[in-house]
Structure 1
Amino acid sequence: MTRRDRPAPRPRRPRSRAGLLLAAAALAGTGIAPPGAAHAGAARTAPFRAADTGARITAETRLGPNEVDITIDSPSLGKSVKTRILLPKGWSPDAAETWPVLYAYHGGQDDYTSWPRNTDIEGWAAAYEAIVVMPEAADGAYANWYNYGRGGTPKWQTFHTQEVVQLIERNYRANGTRAAIGDSAGGQGAITYAARFPGMFTHVASLSGVLWLRAPGMPALTLATNALNGQDPFAIYGFVVANADNWRAHDPYELAPRLRGTKIFFSSGTTGEPGPGDPPGTPWDVGLFSEKQVGETNVAFRDRLDELGVPYTADIYGAGRHNWPSWIRVATRIWPDLMASIGARRA
């Protein structure tokens, strides 16, 4: 949505000797963990299986015993991008067991390292027997771009909902039980994907996502944000009036009836005032102004679900900026519920 205030980089935990050896192997170009590394399982010998589109994993780099970066050559994007994976203890490419997956989508002006850079998601994940996947999303708006009716690349929706899902399930012992969480644009993406593909996720959570894309003033704010990101603002959804059907097709508010049967959580601030731990702000503070605008769409989305009789859980918490401190407070609270929804056992 907009550039968010980020906390100072979180000091990374010291790596074990095994972790250092893994990193050295990656730097040497092997990308393969040495046999016997703690919890890393056997070195992969079988080739990676491709997705139906032909998307394939071209590199695997182990960052630690349970942390992997993969490079995906994606036909849907027309380029290669990375995805980070957190694996449960005891994971092995040859394990008989399979694990449920939580997808963590990042916000605008960020990348696939956003969650581990700003939160302790590695610690959260380590407490449960589940796989956590953080795919690249760039500033793609979690959509297959309209491109003035021509379609074509980038197809971020196809990348996330088909290519990444299939590559994880075919190569990392993931089963078909999935949940998703996202901040800002990633929150909008999580809710939109759940609505466009009912049954794909058992549980979705949006942290300050825009949940009424066509709310008064929101199209202008969306177009301006995309323009500031250096993109053609009309290439994503098209023109607001002339291509209204395409805007509606990606609007959580419009798609709300399709969410019935999916467990839904969403949260946002609404007052445009600093929340707990936030520095003082001014009325023109972009982090406060944008959160107030986002909050209005969350209130409208809540009212829409009430009208439809679709169950949900919401935390419309009033004061708070469009930033990580707010999202961390919420994410740490709902993480156990997300894990329970996919049947992830305590590690």
Structure 2
Amino acid sequence: MAFMQCDFFSETLGLSVSMNVIVPQKTRSQIGMEGKASADRHPTLYLLHGLSDDHTIWMRRTSIERYAAEYGLAVVMPAVGRSFYTDAVQGAKYWTFVSEELPALARSFFPLSDARDANFVAGLSMGGYGAMKLGLRRPDLFAAAASLSGALDVAELDADRVTMSQAEYRRIFGSGEEVRGSDNDLFALAERLSRSSGPRPKLFQCCGTEDFLYSHNIRFRDHVRSLGLDLTYEEEPGGHEWGYWDMKIRRVLEWLPLQR
């Protein structure tokens, strides 16, 4: 695998931003790891960070490079700050950045596939929300979306305020009532997708039973199941921590509908 630290300018955000990118490299003599790579453009996983982290965190806390090498999978890890992958009410347009500009730029910089069935998204906590939003709102772009311990009921975060201040929440989303039924409400997005005749992504969701977001995950799981969407749900003992996410990202890669 090749690992690149990429700094570039975003026209959408109006500032310089960063992403880390892993690109497959076929190897036979590398000690301890054998890499795979397609002869064409690579299948790609967009891997999203949580609220208190940045684009470096997956490389620092997990062995994602080693895990992805087995599958010949490119991994794009962008920095989005504390944005919740959202076009903020008062602030930058991070949803537009991550759903439109980022994939186009990443493909212009690196040999990444633009085929829907070769593009996937996953993330943890805030990034789990972002991944599900990308899957549900842009099913034309992503064949699968996975949430690890996701903050999936953001309307309730306004009431709970367990991860951010009320002022920060209001700058991003407005109020919880404004979220309900909007393009930022995963429950509403799932309902819209269930009524759509277009493509539907495969969905994966997991959460530790001791996680403070467990109740949010149960509500989302039950809602998605009631709509008949293709959801794989897993839970086991675990909290909101990297030992759990390192274990589950390996499971996500195993689950992805990659052409093998």
Q: 1:266 aligns with which of 185, 197, 205?
A: 205
- 1:342 corresponds to: 258
User: 1:295 touches 1:316 (CA, 8 Å); kept in 2?
Assistant: no
Structure in which a larger fraction of residues adopt helix: 2
| Deviation of 1:172 (Å) | 1.1
Query: What is the correspondence of 1:143-158 to structure 2 with a 5 Å cutoff?
Result: 143-147=86-90, 153-158=91-96
Between structure 1 and structure 2, the one with the greater Rg is 1
| Deviation of 1:160 (Å) | 1.0
| Deviation of 1:208 (Å) | 0.3
My pick for the range that moved more, 324-333 or 256-265, is 256-265
| 266 and 249 in structure 1: CA distance in 2 versus 1, 3 angstrom threshold | same
| Deviation of 1:111 (Å) | 0.4
Distance in 2 (alpha carbons) for counterparts of 1:178 and 1:184: 21
User: 1:185 touches 1:210 (CA, 8 Å); kept in 2?
Assistant: yes
Letter in 2 for 1:269: G
Aligned to 1:175, what secondary structure does the other structure show? coil
Normalised by the size of structure 1, how large is the TM-score?
0.65
User: 2:42 touches 2:111 (CA, 8 Å); kept in 1?
Assistant: yes
Give a deviation string over 1:250-289, Cα, whole Å, max 9, x none.
121221134552100001123x3xxxxxxxxxxxxxxxxx
Give a deviation string over 1:215-272, Cα, whole Å, max 9, x none.
4xx32334x63339xx63311011233x345x732121221134552100001123x3
User: 1:101 touches 1:342 (CA, 8 Å); kept in 2?
Assistant: no
- 2:30 corresponds to: none
Is 1:295 matched with 2:214? Answer: yes
Q: 1:254 aligns with which of 188, 191, 202?
A: 188
Unmatched 5+ residue regions in structure 1?
Answer: 1-64, 148-152, 273-290
| 221 and 170 in structure 1: CA distance in 2 versus 1, 3 angstrom threshold | same
Normalised by the size of structure 2, how large is the TM-score?
0.85
User: 2:154 touches 2:179 (CA, 8 Å); kept in 1?
Assistant: no
Is 1:205 matched with 2:143? Answer: no
Distance in 2 (alpha carbons) for counterparts of 1:244 and 1:252: 9
Superposition misfits of 4+ residues, deviation over 4 angstroms: none
- 1:333 corresponds to: 251
Letter in 2 for 1:232: E
Is 1:191 matched with 2:132? Answer: yes
| Deviation of 1:133 (Å) | 0.5
Letter in 2 for 1:70: C
| Deviation of 1:157 (Å) | 1.0
Distance in 2 (alpha carbons) for counterparts of 1:99 and 1:142: 24
Query: What is the correspondence of 1:40-55 to structure 2 with a 5 Å cutoff?
Result: none
Query: What is the correspondence of 1:109-258 to structure 2 with a 5 Å cutoff?
Result: 109-147=52-90, 153-176=91-114, 177-215=118-156, 218-222=157-161, 225-227=163-165, 232-241=168-177, 243-244=178-179, 248-258=182-192
| Deviation of 1:210 (Å) | 1.7
User: 1:299 touches 1:316 (CA, 8 Å); kept in 2?
Assistant: no
Distance in 1 (alpha carbons) for counterparts of 2:57 and 2:171: 25
- 2:225 corresponds to: 306
Letter in 2 for 1:106: H
User: 1:194 touches 1:259 (CA, 8 Å); kept in 2?
Assistant: no
Q: 2:7 aligns with which of 64, 71, 74?
A: 71
Give a deviation string over 1:29-56, Cα, whole Å, max 9, x none.
xxxxxxxxxxxxxxxxxxxxxxxxxxxx
Unmatched 5+ residue regions in structure 2?
Answer: 28-37, 195-199
User: 2:68 touches 2:253 (CA, 8 Å); kept in 1?
Assistant: no
User: 1:264 touches 1:312 (CA, 8 Å); kept in 2?
Assistant: yes
Distance in 2 (alpha carbons) for counterparts of 1:88 and 1:175: 12
Distance in 2 (alpha carbons) for counterparts of 1:106 and 1:298: 18
User: 1:183 touches 1:206 (CA, 8 Å); kept in 2?
Assistant: yes
Letter in 2 for 1:85: V
Letter in 2 for 1:309: G
- 1:28 corresponds to: none
| Deviation of 1:75 (Å) | 2.3
User: 1:198 touches 1:258 (CA, 8 Å); kept in 2?
Assistant: no
Alignment size in residue pairs: 242
Distance in 1 (alpha carbons) for counterparts of 2:65 and 2:250: 12
Aligned to 2:253, what secondary structure does the other structure show? helix
